[in-house]
Amino acid sequence: MVNIQVEKLKNVTPVTKGLNGTIKVPSDKSISHRAAMFGALTQQPVQIMNFSAGGDCKSTLEVLKGLGVEVTYQAENNITIFNNGGFKEPANVLDAGNSGTTIRLMSGILSGSNFYSVLTGDESLRKRPMARIINPLSQMGARIFAKNANTKAPITIIGTELHGITYNSPIASAQIKSAMILAGLSAQGETVITEPFKSRDHSERMLQYLCADLTVDDNKITVKKSELAPKTLIIPGDISSAAFFLVAGAIIPDSEILIKDVGLNPTRTGIIDILKKMGADITIEEHRIECGEDMGDVRIRYSQLKGIEIEEEIIPRVIDELPIIAVAATQAEGTTVIRGAEDLRHKESDRIVAICTELKKLGADIQETPDGFIVNGKTKLKGNCILNTYHDHRIAMSGYVAGLLCEEPIQICEFEWVNISFPEFPGIFEKLTQ
């Protein structure tokens, strides 16, 4: 821990009472990315309500601006996207920042363009695997290249005419699937993608809402060349952001939290299913459908949790929430086992290493496995240490929630990485403790 700058340390003080209140979480990042990109594909003005203010989604807007798309802010988090005359060859390299969604989905869009472009990102993003999208897009005829044997950004794309293929994806990945769907929207013929398990289906839902020629049959998606309809899009609250409050409410005694207007897409509610299986007291209120997406209010109350086994089939529905689930598991009676989550090693950080290393500092009984981890609970978390974030917003926020339960205060290094998805995060927790 040498050379840590004091101003970069976030102090977390253990709570002395339950968390209580009604809150809203930031707009869903995954849906916001797609709303901006799909809105730009209509070549008509599209209004997006409650667009994410996170850094990743700002990166998507900057990439679109670099392609000639007009982005107008009408009010806080309400924007209009207008691709007047279609995408234009960018004058500069397109910077996706820290956003894997931006670089991978835009690769699908740009592969079918009629110009040259280069996509890159920050140091973290340039370390993440890109062959998983480059290989299937190349099979569709894309002229797409990357460094290190096509595995890392920057990505160079020479736009060309694409053709549909039938592709059996080796893993369930919304980013792989979405990149191919977006390429398929401009490709000749039919593009068919099959996954081993159903991953997040935000792309399919929104594109069907926008009248794309797209059908879904369980784990198989079929898409044809399509013109999208310019419709207003409403973004729900991000359940991945809500997950931190769901876990905190479940494990901190005397807590009751109501989270308003949360996205409840069934491919994203693995966190709710897992917490319920662990014995959490969760109820859904005011369930409704907006722009093809499920939405509602979620109430969480403190309860005694028990350890469970989390199998591979549910992992695509809960991949981003596994670090905070590890925190919940430290407070559950018995053993919690996560399997089939090897893809955690290819996120903003190696999240298996990160969460195991940091929770061990707090006194948790957690063991790393090749494709997940094993947590033995219930454990008193000690505190009195400094946690690292690994430049990863979800590791930072998971550490914060763990710190609320510690016997002594902790500090978190480079906590500012939470701004990638949730700059309001600590402020909301502070209100719940008042």
Q: Which of the residues are catalytic? A: 320
With beta carbons less than 8 A apart as the criterion, state whether 331 and 379 touch.
yes
Q: What is the 3-state secondary structure (H, E, C) of 256-323?
A: EEEEEEEECCCCCCHHHHHHHHCCCEEEEEEEEEECCEEEEEEEEECCCEECCEECHHHHHHCHHHHH
DSSP lists the bridge partners of residue 234 as 49
Give the position of tokens 């700059």: 423
Burial 40-68 (b: 16+ CB within 10 A, else e): bbbbeebbbbbbbbbbbbbbbbebbebbb
Is 195 in a helix, a strand, or coil? coil
Burial 374-405 (b: 16+ CB within 10 A, else e): bbbbbbebebebebbbbbbbbbbbbbbbbbbb
Question: CB-hemisphere CA count at 13 Å for 300?
Answer: 31
Q: Rounded to the nearest 5 degrees, what angle is found at the Cα of 393, between the Cα atoms of 396 and 271? A: 90
